Amino acid sequence: MAAIDFSEGLSYYWSFAAPCDSHIDTVKGEEEGRNELPPTSQESLGSYELMIVHQAIQAISEYRARLSNRLSTVDGLHADLGERRNKQYDAERQRLSKQYDLDKDELERRIGPTSVLGVQQFRACHDVDMSLENLRSELGGREPLIRLVYPRWRWLTPYLLLLALLSLTELVINKGVFEDIFRAGAIFGYGGAGVMGLAVVFFGHLIGLFVRQCRVRRRPPERLRTWVGIPLILLLVTFSLYELSVIRQSYLTTSRTANPLVSSLSSAMNEVASGRGPLGSALRQVPLAGGAAQLGAAVLAPQNERNSFEAFQPLGAQGLLLLLLNLSVFLGGGLLSYIRHDPHPDYEPLLDKVNRCRRRIARRQERFDLAMRELDENYRRINDNLTRRADELARDLAEQKVNINGAEFRLDIEMENVAAVVAQRIHAYQRANTLARKTPAPLYFGESSAQQAWAMILGNRYQGGPA
């Protein structure tokens, strides 16, 4: 909104003063002084002084009228802006507040804690919490035993890392055994040893779990599984590792006797070819085919006896060492499993279920809090924009109020300026009139006349117009 142009007051002032300067007042004073006007006995302002005063009052009235129009316009605009502020911005804020409440309710209905899914999750978590508390009360309020678990790592836990380390140890121990069994490359050796390592560690995990929880299992299927599973697993693993050691020992024995067989066959073939020795003479006494058959049987019989495999045989030092190493891995897995698990079979699964429920509720709450922060930030920007516009309007209203106050102050200044000019003109008129007269000057000449004119001009301020 444009400010009021107060330079118009000066234009009114100069339009009044310019045509009635001091020269005209001096000429008029000399003319009336020669005519002895006004009379010496007159005590109030004469006609010419009154004319000067009335011209000033008229100029001030015109200026005040134009200024009043301007001020009334400003007052109207001020009132209009105030009304707009009270209606538009207040209504906008009310609408914004209602819309915010609607969006917040919609957000709570979809993903908030009070949503259908949120209430279901809360009830499920409450039920699991109650089950956990009942179990803790049944167990005397104790917490779970040592659990080699990091809560942040869902699957990669220290327990699994230790089991993997045991499997790698089993792979290193049995790699050479399976290469000898398959008579193939390293791939079959690594494959067979890896499967063997996983099986041994897995059965160690089961045996540790069954031993740990054998006293607490109450349901008949669980008791049957425990008391039947423990001896079966021990028997199966022990027999498998024993047979693996027997196979390894048999292979090593066969490898050590391979070179004597080759030397015996070579010497026998030399005797047959030369006809010398007991083998050559015996061959000459029998037919060729029968002699060759008897020769082969006589040569290979000792070697077949050495290559025969027996499932149960005493273990030597190397076989016993291999068995002890494999059993150590198996028992190590069982010990880790025994330490890892709680004696009560339902305690840890129930605790994990409680933690999962709480994590789901926490994730839902985090999503809801994030959505609420975004919603609050969006409405904060809208409200800040609305506040900025309201502040701009308030500053505009303040500027208009300053204009109104400045206009009133400027009106007083203009009236004082005009009154001063009137006093100067009256003084010039009276001075020229006194010099041209032959009789004494009228009684009102002097300071009293200027005071009367001043009083008349300033008194007109209270006769209308802005105060």
CB neighbour class for 186 (10 Å; exposed up to 12, middle 13-18, buried from 19): exposed
Q: How confident is the model at residue 301 (pLDDT cuts 50, 70, 90)?
A: very low
pLDDT digits (tens, 9 = 90+) for 69-80: 776 766 666 667
- List, as one string, the DSSP characters of 78-142: HHHHHHHIIIIIHHHHHHHHHHHHHHHHHHHHHHSTTSHHHHHHHHHHHHHHHHHHHHHHHTTTP
Q: Provide the 3-class DSSP secondary structure of residue 337.
A: helix
Give the closest residue to 53 by CA, choosing from 412, 446, 426: 426
pTM of the model: 0.51
Tokens of 274: 């030369």
Q: Which amino acid, 467? A: A
Domain ranges of the chain: 7-112+367-463, 146-254+313-341
Arithmetic mean of pLDDT, 160-188: 82
CB atoms within 10 A of CB 45: 22
H-state helical runs in 112-219: 116-138, 158-182, 186-213
Tens of pLDDT, residues 403-412 = 777 777 777 7
| Model pLDDT, residue 459 | 73
| Structural Rg of the chain based on CA atoms | 61
Token pair listed for 266: 């070579």
Give the best-scoring range by mean pLDDT among 128-142, 150-164, 366-380.
366-380
Tokens 């104790």 sit on residue: 142
Angle at 357 between CA 354 and CA 359, to 5 degrees: 110
Residue 376 structure tokens? 């609050």
Give 233-269 pLDDT, tens digit per residue: 999 999 999 988 888 888 777 665 544 544 454 455 4
97 pLDDT more than 80: yes
Q: How confident is the model at residue 274 (pLDDT cuts 50, 70, 90)?
A: low
Mean pLDDT of the chain: 77
**Alpha carbon separation from 63 to 19, 189, 215, 272 (Å, rounded):** 17, 115, 111, 156
Q: Cα angle at 446 between 440 and 450, to 5 degrees?
A: 140
Taken in order 138, 142, 144, 145, the sign of the CA dihedral is: negative
Average pLDDT of the segment spanning 287-309: 46
Measured between its terminal Cα atoms, the distance across the chain in Å is 24
Flag the least confident range among 131-135, 284-288, 420-424.
Answer: 284-288
% residues pLDDT > 90 (the chain): 13
- Confidence bin at 202 (pLDDT 50/70/90): very high
Distance between alpha carbon 367 and the CA centroid of its chain, in Å?
9
Instruction: Return d(Cα 374, Cα 353) in angstroms, integer.
Output: 32
Contact partners, residue 443, CB within 8 Å, separation at least 6: 40, 41, 42, 43
Would the pLDDT of 199 be above 90? yes
Between helix 347-436 and helix 447-459 the angle, nearest 10°, is 140
